[in-house]
A = this chain, B = another copy of it.
């Protein structure tokens, strides 16, 4: 996120407030106060409250793509990542899982954006689809493709690789939602994450 323009600061503060209180729970006066101006001035930058919300969604979509490219793993193209994990070990798979987990839980914008979508998902069809796409379909598709390729190299037991992706990702996703609700449980979840991946490897990886 850039903080160069006032527009960007409005987007950031609005996201922060929407993530805590929901769209309806935040007033234009509140946003203005957080930015350090009067409510009327917001209308010089955005047509209205809904325009701010739309702008947040657009900004975060492009931000997500930028960030994902900076991770060690590509995150979008598993065929580019597969070389990294050719001789997959428990350690390495823990690497993927932990990286995924820590990024999602610690990155301020990602966390706020996910909270905002979580709150808004039942009020808006578009938000619902965006949430499922980003936090389910894309994640599962990536893992499924990665596991399929690793299996062709003879690293894994024979299995349905979509289900295998689900077995890898769903526990991690579930633990992320716990940390969103109760940040004080992060250490507990990190320990459980370690056990999860250890057991996942025992159960699915042929020899390690």
> Measuring CB to CB, which residues of chain A are less than 8 angstroms from any residue of chain B?
19-22, 24-25, 115, 118-119, 121-123, 128-129, 131-132, 136, 159-160, 162-164, 166-167, 170-171, 173-174, 178, 180-182, 185, 192, 195-196, 198-200, 202-204
Partner of A199, one of B21, B164, B182: B164
Cα separation A192 to B170 with both chains bound (whole Å): 13
What copy number does this chain have within its complex?
Answer: 2
Whether B21 pairs with A181 at a CB distance below 8 angstroms is: no
Whether A180 pairs with B25 at a CB distance below 8 angstroms is: no
Partner of A122, one of B119, B167, B196: B119
Whether A192 pairs with B162 at a CB distance below 8 angstroms is: yes
Whether B192 pairs with A163 at a CB distance below 8 angstroms is: yes
Q: A122-B19, A167-B167 are in contact. Are A132 and B25 (CB under 8 A)?
A: no
Whether A132 pairs with B24 at a CB distance below 8 angstroms is: no
A7 → chain B closest CB, angstroms = 25
Whether B203 pairs with A132 at a CB distance below 8 angstroms is: no
Q: Which of A20, A115, A160 has the most CB of B within 10 A?
A: A160
Q: A182-B129, A192-B162, A196-B163 are in contact. Are A21 and B170 (CB under 8 A)?
A: no
What are the residues of chain B within 8 A of A174 when measuring CB–CB?
136, 166, 170, 173-174
